[in-house]
Amino acid sequence: MAETAKKREDSENAPLLPGESSKASSASEPSSSGGPATAFAFWFYFTVAVSLVTVLFVSLPRIERTDDVSWFLTLPDGLRSHYSTGKFIKVNPAGGGEQMQVFAVELGKKDAETVLLVHGLGCSSYSFRRVLRSLAASGLRAVAVDMPGSGFSDEVSLVNNAKWGGPFGWICRIFGEIKEKGFFWGFDQLIETGEIQERPTRVSSSEGLEYGPADMGLILGQVINSMSLPPVHLVLHDSALIAGTNWVSANAGLVSSLTLIDASPKSAAFPSPLLRLPVLGHLLLGSKTVFAGLLRLCCARSVDAVDAEAYRLVLKRKNRRIAVLAAWRALNHSLDVGEWANSEELKGLPIQVLWSNSLSDQWIDEGRRVTASIPNAKFTFHFGGRWPQEDAAEEISRMIADFVSSIPKSIKRIEEDTVPDHMQKMFEEASHQDHHHHHHHGHDQDYGLGYMEMYGLGHGW
């Protein structure tokens, strides 16, 4: 037996001949067929893993790809009709950033008194759809805008700087992209580009970037100037008071009158803080019934299910929830309305306050307090909620129209119909030369017309 063991040991220690291999060595070395995973396989599994986690984070999970077209097709007919009547105004955000577009709807004659309606937190120009029609029917030029991050307007254009850097921050940003675009977006990116590409996104201050009421006021001013609205009768609803104060103070000469609709710096009607809660926030935006109930409780008691769904779908779009939260966090709740209204810039400006008398006694007292702090302000109760443009549109429209008609008419400057001095001089010279050649060179009688057409002015002047 000892001899057998010795033979086995000698056999194991004997040098290997060419072409031979030992069982021990082959068992200890990894097989060449089990090499490292390919980069493609790695990204594929990474994408699937992140997508699965995304599904777990969504309260009402759905496997789908979303884009602007498919989102637009889900909107109620009334909201799509509202979109078809509007246009986009290009503006440049303060502090740089990418140019953005602000949505605006305009009804009525351009040479009429102009009423500009600015919505509060959580709603949009869509809430004024019936007020716009009523004011236009009253002979006024009615304009409503979607403030940045609301309705169809863009969010503030800033580069998305995540709170975390390094690989973890990168994963979080990719996670956000996949959560926004759908389950198979990351895989499609791999097929098309070979990698998952990050892109700058339009974000707001909830991710550490501040864009407050003063900046919103600058954007509002650009829209007002671009549309040649001044002088304007400004209507500020709800939290729009805070965003509008800076622009009004700096441009009081362009404002013919000011109407405040349930506007107090103390609170906004829409309960934005609820959207920041991890589970409840998704539930509010994920359920038609729950969201409609929230609007009826806090904003407009008679809002119907179709209109409530329009607001819900807008808030579900991309970064809208983030934008609303950012706007709420940036509100200056310490604004002293009396000090602002009594400033030298606003001295003599006609102001009216429209306030709901169908809510709590505390809210009614707040309306009286706001009015008492503004000298010579006209105070009137309405029977709607805190979004009265939804449930008391005709009443609100009549109050605004009566107030505007009680003020001396503004001197309207319509820039698009005004011929600049240098162009007027050119026309006079062309007309003189045309007259001269008409008498002395009949074959040159179209000279002036050709001169005008060379500048693209041959028609319509």
Closest CA to 158 of 169, 166, 168, 148: 148
Compute the distance between CA of residue 55 and CA of residue 391 in angstroms, rounded to an integer.
38
Compute the distance between CA of residue 348 and CA of residue 109 in angstroms, rounded to an integer.
27
The answer to whether residue 112 sits within a structural domain is yes
| Span 261-317, pLDDT tens digits | 999 988 899 999 998 887 888 888 989 999 999 999 999 999 999 999 999 999 988
The answer to whether residue 69 sits within a structural domain is no
Residue 28, classified by CB atoms within 10 Å of its CB into exposed (0-12), middle (13-18) or buried (19+), is: exposed
- Using the structure block, give the residue that is written with the tokens 């609007």: 295
Do 222 and 179 fall into the same domain? no
| Span 381-403, pLDDT tens digits | 999 999 999 999 999 999 999 99
Do 195 and 325 fall into the same domain? no
CATH number at residue 81: 3.40.50.1820
| Span 318-359, pLDDT tens digits | 778 888 888 888 887 888 999 999 999 998 899 999 999 988
Residues of the domain holding 370: 74-156+210-405
Compute the distance between CA of residue 206 and CA of residue 330 in angstroms, rounded to an integer.
9
Do 45 and 106 fall into the same domain? no
The answer to whether residue 239 sits within a structural domain is yes
3-class state of residue 351 by DSSP: strand
Q: Where are the alpha helices (DSSP H) in 299-392?
A: 305-316, 320-330, 337-341, 361-372, 388-391
The answer to whether residue 391 sits within a structural domain is yes
Do 147 and 261 fall into the same domain? yes
Do 152 and 176 fall into the same domain? no
The answer to whether residue 22 sits within a structural domain is no
Do 112 and 145 fall into the same domain? yes
pLDDT band at 161 (very low <50, low <70, confident <90, very high): very low
The answer to whether residue 204 sits within a structural domain is no
The answer to whether the predicted template modeling score (pTM) of the entire model surpasses 0.75 is no
Q: How is 39-73 classified by DSSP, letter by letter?
A: HHHHHHHHHHHHHHHHHHHSSS----B--HHHHHH
- The count of structural domains within the chain is 3
Do 348 and 245 fall into the same domain? yes
Do 249 and 385 fall into the same domain? yes
The CA radius of gyration of the chain, in Å to the nearest whole number, is: 33
Do 191 and 306 fall into the same domain? no
Closest CA to 396 of 119, 199, 189: 119
The answer to whether residue 349 sits within a structural domain is yes
The answer to whether residue 119 sits within a structural domain is yes
Domain stops at, among 199, 218, 253: 199
